[in-house]
Structure 1
Amino acid sequence: MRYRPPKVRVKNLIFGGVFMVKYSEEFKVKLVTEYLYGNLGYKSLTKKYNMPSTSPLKNWVRSYKVQGVDGLKRRNTKKEYSVQFKLDAVQFMLETGASYLETAVQFNLNNHSMIQRWLKAFRDQGIEGLKPRPKGKPSMSKKINKQKKKKRRS
């Protein structure tokens, strides 16, 4: 069985940096329900559970209100979105003046920072910036391969 590290809170690295935290779905549901049905606010809850900021909790509450428990689930696979879908999201945001989070809710996305990247790419490169980029190591050109073969023969 493959080793999987436990889902933990933020820890400072030796050189002072902080890395991303993955919270379990159960933890998110617990905090959201405690916020909605309890008497503690964002700051009190984040202090109680030793979280570095209130931002994640605020996002979880918004997602929960719109999508229910499904809004708190992590997606296991990285979904690829079409250029048209990205363009629709960006145009919606620009035309309506909606925030990243409001746009994410409108288009049923869990990650509002994705729209931030799409908008930046659209502003920098236009529609070309929304097209998928090739992943992995680029293939070698045929010219380089021929030169290597000639060197081997010599």
Structure 2
Amino acid sequence: MTKYSAEEKLQAVKRYLNGNESFNKIAKSLGTDHKAIIKWVKQYEYNGVNAFINPCTNYTSQFKLNVLNFMIENGTSLNETAAIFKIPAPSTNSVWRKQYESQGLDALQSRKKGRPSMKNEFNKLSKQAPVEGYTEALEARIKQLEMENEYLKKLSTLVQNKEKSPNKTKRK
């Protein structure tokens, strides 16, 4: 889906509000779905020009709960609720509702996104006190692996020598 600038959205809304063009006609000229135009018009009706300025927002759990309560109490649609609270994507409300219904208020808490740092895990492991006998167990394991490695090297050498040597006894 193509992203549209605030100016393009505003122009589309003004074209509709002038009354000369339908949602479908405007959507076709922009190469988008008519539902996007409907959403933009709703956002404009509730928030004016500021509706199309989308700051990246991290919503608090209380804000999310207020949005859900408003939607339930007033019976507003996802699009209308998103327009009233200036939420860029109406589907966000649906996600919040599903999370709240399945997991409760804790699901609405904002969580840190991305991959956890490996540095923290390393620090935790290095700060732990070594378990008694841990060093000896590691040394024993290292010695076992070294012996296995030597055995495999000798076996490989024997197999290569056998393949190189000509057969001295021939079977009839």
Would you call these one fold, judging by a TM-score over 0.5?
Answer: yes
Residue type matched to 1:54 in 2? H
- The aligned counterpart of 1:31 is 12
Shift of 1:54: 0.5
Q: Which residue of 1 aligns with 2:47?
A: 67
Q: Among the aligned pairs, what percent are the same residue?
A: 33
Verify: 1:133 aligned to 2:111, yes or no: yes
In 1, Cα distance between equivalents of 2:10 and 2:81 = 23
- Relative distance call for 1:118 and 1:68 in structure 2 (3 A) is same
SS of 1:74's equivalent? coil
Aligned ranges 1:86-97 → 2 under 5 Å? 86-97=64-75
Change (3 A) 1:40 1:21: same
Cα RMSD of the aligned pairs, angstroms, is: 2.8
Question: What residue in structure 1 maps to residue 79 of structure 2?
Answer: 101
**The structure with more radius of gyration:** 2
TM-score using structure 2 length:
0.64
TM-score between both structures, scaled by the size of structure 1:
0.70
State how far apart, in whole Å, the 1-side matches of 2:113 and 2:86 are. 26
Could you tell me how far apart the structure 2 residues matched to 1:44 and 1:63 are?
19
Deviation readout 1:68-90 (Å, 9 max, x if unpaired): 11112232xx2111111111111
Structure showing the higher helix proportion among its residues? 2
Amino acid at match of 2:41: V
Q: How far apart are 1:136 and its partner, in Å? A: 2.6
Alignment CA distance shift 1:88-1:127 (3 Å): same
Q: Structure 2 CA distance, aligned partners of 1:95 and 1:65?
A: 21
Inter-CA distance 70–57: structure 2 relative to 1 (3 Å threshold): same
- Once the two structures are superposed, residues 33-52 of structure 1 have per-residue CA deviations (whole angstroms, 9 ceiling, x without a partner) of 11111411111122233x13
Taking a change above 3 Å as real, the CA distance of residues 38 and 93 of structure 1, as seen in their structure-2 partners, is closer
2:34 counterpart residue number:
54
The unaligned stretches of length 5 or more in structure 2 are 143-172
